[in-house]
Structure 1
Amino acid sequence: MKVLLIEDDPRIARFIRRGLEAEGYTVDVVGDGRDALALARAGEHALLVLDRMLPGLGGVEICRTLRSERYDRPILMLTAKDGLQDKVSGLHAGADDYLAKPFAFDELLARIGALLRRAGRSQEPTEPVLRVGDLVLDPAARKARRGEREIQLTPREFTLLAYLMENAGTVLSRARILSRVWEYSFDPGSKVVDVYIRYLRQKIDTDEPKALIRTVRGFGYTISDD
């Protein structure tokens, strides 16, 4: 899921970008207000994280302009100004939520998740529900369950599981998984795929009579109910 981070402080931008990417988001960063407006208009991002004070064009003006053009993606506004009137003006401009600096990353992550869930409920599902045996993944609702048991997944785990289920029965190499899920064009030599496959197995196959995620030695991984 793609997030557009509009922040002109390089230190804060790096902090937010690294944290969100670790959670599985794809993050584009821009520090100039006018450039940010053009990128947002392209409509490629599920959510905007928008700083209030920006060179070129302020965050409130960006927000107001986008909403006047019927831009419907969630906007989370960040600012060093935490006065009541500042919050009110940001919300009136069209921001969906408002977070004052400094903030804890966990709170930022929780607010982003809440905005995306809210946006998902207000739109018609565009992606089909995926099923492998009694494992069900709903991309629109961002929910997974096996049988009657709901499974809590991080964004990266969700993306990996969706890719496996979209290709159920097909053996996927580590290189293909890295390219699709982590967007790496090369193998960095890490065990990141193996680690996340282990995370998924713990959540999906532990204590179940049948394991769905399988290793094909020398080739890669697959998910199947066969």
Structure 2
Amino acid sequence: MDKVLLVEDEGSIRGFLKINFQRQGFEVVEADNGEDGLRLAYLEKPKFAILDVMLPGIDGFQVCQELRKSFTNMGIIMLTAKGQDMDKIMGLEFGADDYLVKPFNPSELILRVKAISRRMEETEPINKDLIQSGPFKLDLYSQKLFKNSDQIDVTPKEYMLFRMFIENPGKAFSRDELLNLIWGYDFVGDPKIVDVNIRRLRAKIEDNSSSPKYIETVWGTGYRWRVE
């Protein structure tokens, strides 16, 4: 669900827009001044921001400028007063993607947000061979594991274990499940090999393997990848 930030000091307008966005499946966070708008943006990290130009405290231009510095991919639309052509120009110069003149139809605003979303998706690079989680990157093409851009050397079984965990965050795997999935159902060796490989993998990826942060032990069951 895409999240949109509404920064508008007129409660009636803000409430009306909120209802319309929610009907279209958006999650909405709202503020009635620029300072609270910025605070919510840093806290909630919305995909879109709708900013009124005339706000108490810092105005919409300043909010737009600050948001663009921190969120280069955020879609930003400015709401300007009728006939204020300079507002439109300044809004675009400060980094807005689009503007809408009051009064306007909420449906038009939502259509413009969706148009920006489509443009964003078209320009986003897609690398299906790369899985990311926290500081980790797993390159499926080269079968290489990186932490904070540093490559970690892992054995084939450690790689398969790591991939199993990172692709299923929060899922508790039993030792038998991991044994069957990684070593195969016909494996006849010691099942403790799972624990041995988990220990080795932890030693390579954890900041402190005696107090693991990423691969958690699920007592009585097995292991799981911690959800951030």
Q: Shorter-chain TM-score category?
A: 0.5 to 0.7
Q: What is the aligned partner in structure 2 of residue 74 from structure 1? A: 75
- d(CA) in 2 for partners of 1:119 and 1:87? 21
Q: What is the aligned partner in structure 1 of residue 194 from structure 2? A: none
- d(CA) in 1 for partners of 2:3 and 2:127? 16
1:3-42 residue CA offsets vs partner (Å, 9 max, x unmatched): 1111110000011000111111111111121111122233
Counterpart of 2:31, as a letter, is V
Q: What is the aligned partner in structure 2 of residue 46 from structure 1? A: 47
CA contact (8 A) 2:34 2:59 kept: yes
Query: 1:126: Cα distance to partner?
Result: 8.0
- d(CA) in 2 for partners of 1:81 and 1:106? 18
1:173-217 residue CA offsets vs partner (Å, 9 max, x unmatched): xxxxxxxxxxxxxxxxxxxxxxxxxxxxxxxxxxxxxxxxxxxxx
Q: TM-score, normalised by structure 2?
A: 0.52
Structure 1 residues 25 and 126: alpha-carbon distance in aligned structure 2, compared to 1, 3 A threshold: farther
Q: Does 1:87 align with 2:88?
A: yes
Query: 1:47: Cα distance to partner?
Result: 0.6
Q: What is the aligned partner in structure 2 of residue 13 from structure 1? A: 14
- d(CA) in 2 for partners of 1:127 and 1:81? 45
- d(CA) in 1 for partners of 2:84 and 2:17? 23
- d(CA) in 2 for partners of 1:87 and 1:95? 9
CA RMSD between the two structures:
2.0
- d(CA) in 1 for partners of 2:127 and 2:36? 29
- d(CA) in 2 for partners of 1:32 and 1:106? 24
CA contact (8 A) 2:53 2:78 kept: yes
Alignment partner of 1:42: what SS?
Answer: helix
- d(CA) in 2 for partners of 1:92 and 1:49? 16
Q: Which structure has the higher relative contact order (CA within 8 Å, separation 6+)? A: 1
Q: Equivalences for 1:1-226 in 2 at 5 Å?
A: 1-42=2-43, 44-69=45-70, 71-125=72-126
- d(CA) in 2 for partners of 1:11 and 1:127? 44
Structure with the greater alpha carbon radius of gyration: 2
Query: 1:43: Cα distance to partner?
Result: 5.6
- d(CA) in 1 for partners of 2:126 and 2:36? 30
- d(CA) in 2 for partners of 1:88 and 1:37? 22
Structure 1 residues 110 and 57: alpha-carbon distance in aligned structure 2, compared to 1, 3 A threshold: same
Corresponding pairs, count: 128
- d(CA) in 2 for partners of 1:119 and 1:47? 11
Alignment partner of 2:116: what SS?
Answer: helix
- d(CA) in 2 for partners of 1:122 and 1:92? 21
Structure 1 residues 105 and 69: alpha-carbon distance in aligned structure 2, compared to 1, 3 A threshold: closer
CA contact (8 A) 2:29 2:40 kept: no
- d(CA) in 2 for partners of 1:58 and 1:126? 38
- d(CA) in 2 for partners of 1:127 and 1:53? 43
Structure 1 residues 125 and 16: alpha-carbon distance in aligned structure 2, compared to 1, 3 A threshold: farther
Query: 1:127: Cα distance to partner?
Result: 8.8
Structure 1 residues 62 and 105: alpha-carbon distance in aligned structure 2, compared to 1, 3 A threshold: same
Q: Percent identity?
A: 39
Query: 1:70: Cα distance to partner?
Result: 5.1
CA contact (8 A) 2:82 2:103 kept: no
Query: 1:64: Cα distance to partner?
Result: 1.3
